[in-house]
């Protein structure tokens, strides 16, 4: 007979093995538990992944340009909500101690008339004529060609085909001006609103497109060192404007969509509903499973199984089902997102570690509550009642 530590370890694994057999032998209840948790995890991951994708796309310009500090009007909440700044702000920012360089950026919408005669809204990004800071990666053509007459770069992303898949040399009309595609480019992140993107020089952008009196959408700043960032932000604040680091601007955009639009509330409600669905299905099914196996637990208690061993069995069963359903739910969601992107290239959903962590926490909560229901029922049984029945 095994004795000592080895005997206790063997007995412990024996209890868990018995708990596993009790769980999987009732295939109907086991399948019901898995389906409930898998469906709940799938909904939670799908909804939060869609929200994460939307937030990522909403900050696409910030990711693609890559500036360390963005200077803007204090009322700006998103990249798309640009408010022009006068030219003196650019001169003032360049004179701040600690600024290595500062360049203007234009970002605005326009309507393009294609060769077929159809019209297509686009986003036009005008980068600094001297440095071309924030330029995209050119796949075909040369970046120097952007200085040619009427020259534009087109971003090849999910929205590229909306411009009738233009090639180098394609001619179009933008605000009664002639435009020519001189290069095909790529960026790190596509835009949110399903609109193609064109790049040109800053001067051409403000010349071709109707603007208000002030034309600078943003001022892109690179500090001499990271330690100069706070000094630059304070100096910009003193002249009545706001300077945000790249991460701060992304966070501001995310907070706008989370708290100042209905998007965040709707996603939160769907996540809570999926949690309630998973909890109700798994909790009810697990409770039914415990009731139907109550005689077995009572028999184990009668032959000497201690209360903590029965608790370990219940916790093991709940944890096993929860983690299995968690894995299946993630796998199902990942497969469907991959299939959706094959058919819908601009589908925004993306699975992040934050989504996985939140879903895991909710699954643990479901397992804990389901296990608590089972533990209370099992600990209250008396072997005498089982055998007398």
Residue ranges of the domains in the chain?
11-57+262-388, 86-240
pLDDT of res. 120: 93
- Residue 53 has what pLDDT? 84
Say what the pLDDT of residue 92 is.
95
Burial of 284 (0-12, 13-18, 19+ CB in 10 A): middle
Give the CA distances from residue 382 to residues 240, 290, 298, 387, 389, in Å, rounded to whole numbers and listed in that order.
75, 15, 7, 9, 11
Q: Are strands 151-155 and 242-245 parallel, antiparallel or unpaired?
A: unpaired
Q: Is the pTM of this model over 0.75?
A: yes
C-alpha 317, offset from chain centre: 32
- C-alpha to C-alpha distances, 164 to 111, 315, 344, 389, nearest whole angstrom: 14, 58, 17, 77
pLDDT tens, position by position, 59-109: 888 999 989 999 999 999 888 888 999 999 999 999 999 999 999 999 988
Instruction: Let me know: does 49 contact 330? Beta carbons within 8 Å.
Output: no
Residue range 258-276, pLDDT digits in tens:
888 777 778 778 777 877 7
CA pair distance 11, 2, nearest whole angstrom: 9
CA distance 52 to 271: 13
Residue with tokens 């991959």, as numbered in its chain: 338
Buried-exposed string 310-330: b where 16+ CB fall within 10 A, e elsewhere = bebbbbbbbbbbbeebbebbb
Question: In angstroms, what CA-CA distances link 300 with 132, 201, 307?
Answer: 76, 79, 10
Q: How far is CA 35 from CA 38, 135, 137, 279, 320, in A?
A: 5, 49, 45, 12, 13
- Spans of the chain below 50 pLDDT: 1-3
Confidence (pLDDT) at 1: 42
**What is the chain's Cα-based Rg?**
30
Q: What pLDDT score was predicted for residue 365?
A: 81
Q: What are phi and psi of 92, to 5 degrees?
A: -65, -40
Q: What is the 3-state secondary structure (H, E, C) of the chain?
A: CCCHHHHHHHHHHHHHHHHHHHHHHCHHHHHHHHHHHHHHHHHHHHHHHHHHHHHHHHCHHHHHHCCCEEEECCCCCCCCCCCCECHHHHHHHHCCCCEEEEEEEEEEEEEEECCCCCEEEEEEEEECCCCCCCCCEEEEECHHHHHCCCEEEEECCCCHHHHCCCCCCCEEEECCEEEEEEEEEECCCCCCCCCCEEEEEHHHHHHHCCCCCCCECEEEEEECCHHHHHHHHHHHHHCCCEEEEHHHHHHHHHHHHHHCCHHHHHHHHHHHHHHHHHHHHHHHHHHHHHHHCHHHHHHHHHCCCCHHHHHHHHHHHHHHHHHHHHHHHHHHHHHHHHHHHHHCCCCCCCCCHHHHHHHHHHHHHHHHHHHHHHHHHHHHCCHHHHHHC
């Amino acid at each position: 007979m095994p004795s000592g530590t080895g005997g206790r370890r063997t007995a412990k694994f024996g209890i868990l093995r018995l708990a596993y057999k009790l769980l999987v032998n009732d295939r109907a209840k086991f399948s019901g538990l898995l389906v409930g948790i898998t469906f709940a995890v799938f909904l939670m991951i799908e909804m939060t992944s869609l929200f994460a994708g939307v937030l990522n796309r909403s900050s696409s310009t910030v990711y693609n340009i890559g500036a360390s500090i963005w200077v803007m009007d204090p009322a700006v909440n998103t990249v798309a909500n640009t408010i022009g700044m006068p030219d003196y702000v650019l001169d003032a920012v360049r004179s701040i101690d600690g600024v290595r360089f500062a360049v203007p950026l234009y970002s605005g919408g326009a309507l393009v008339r294609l060769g077929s005669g159809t019209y297509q809204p686009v986003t036009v990004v005008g980068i600094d004529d001297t440095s071309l800071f924030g330029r995209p990666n050119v796949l075909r053509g040369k970046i120097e060609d952007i200085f040619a007459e009427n020259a534009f770069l087109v971003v090849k992303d999910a929205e590229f085909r909306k411009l009738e898949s233009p090639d180098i040399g394609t001619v179009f009309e933008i605000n009664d001006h002639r435009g020519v595609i001189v290069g095909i480019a790529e960026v790190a992140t596509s835009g949110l609103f399903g609109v193609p993107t064109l790049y040109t020089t800053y001067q051409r952008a403000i010349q071709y497109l109707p603007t208000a009196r002030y034309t600078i959408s943003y001022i892109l700043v690179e500090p001499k060192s990271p330690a100069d960032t706070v000094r630059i932000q304070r100096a910009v604040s003193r002249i009545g404007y706001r300077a945000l680091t790249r991460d701060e601007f992304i966070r501001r955009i995310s907070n706008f969509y989370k708290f100042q639009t209905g998007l965040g509330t709707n996603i939160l409600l769907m996540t809570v509903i999926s949690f309630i669905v998973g909890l109700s299905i798994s909790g009810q099914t697990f409770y039914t499973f415990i009731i139907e196996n109550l005689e077995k637990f009572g028999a184990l208690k009668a032959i000497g199984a201690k209360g903590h061993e029965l608790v370990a069995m219940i916790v093991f069963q709940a944890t096993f089902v929860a983690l299995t359903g968690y894995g299946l739910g993630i796998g199902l969601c990942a497969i469907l997102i991959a299939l959706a992107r094959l058919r819908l290239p601009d589908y925004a959903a993306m699975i992040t570690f934050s989504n996985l962590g939140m879903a895991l926490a909710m699954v643990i909560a479901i397992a804990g509550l389901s296990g608590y229901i089972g533990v209370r029922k099992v600990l209250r049984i008396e072997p005498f009642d089982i055998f007398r029945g």
